[in-house]
Amino acid sequence: MKKLFVGGLSFKTTEEGLAEAFAKAGKVLSAVIITDRMTHRSKGFGFVEMENDADADAAIAMYNNQELDGRRVVVNEARPLEKRF
């Protein structure tokens, strides 16, 4: 399993739409769009978990710096969450 960061998402992109788009590159385990706690509006980025490294690499090649729902998105391997103090 490999987790991908997807930035620059359109506010109209849904989690279902994101999963459907990335499914063209391989098996998607989950797709989550990060939202603001107060307004529940998209923050413009999310994460997609792909089943294996080959599917993740295919998704990066397919979508990085390409348009999705009218916006140019950035797709790369997600970095581990850093500790906050």
Confidence (pLDDT) at 52? 95
**pLDDT band at 36, cuts 50/70/90?**
very high
Q: SS3 for 33-51, per residue?
A: EEECCCCCCEEEEEEEEEC
**pLDDT band at 82, cuts 50/70/90?**
confident
Mean pLDDT of all residues belonging to the chain: 95
Domain range list for the chain: 2-77
Contacting residues for 77 by C-beta, under 8 A, at least 6 apart: 2, 3, 4, 5, 56, 60
Confidence (pLDDT) at 80? 83
pTM over the 0.75 mark: yes
Q: Could you say which architecture CATH assigns to the domain 2-77?
A: 2-Layer Sandwich (3.30)
Q: What percent of the chain has pLDDT over 70?
A: 99
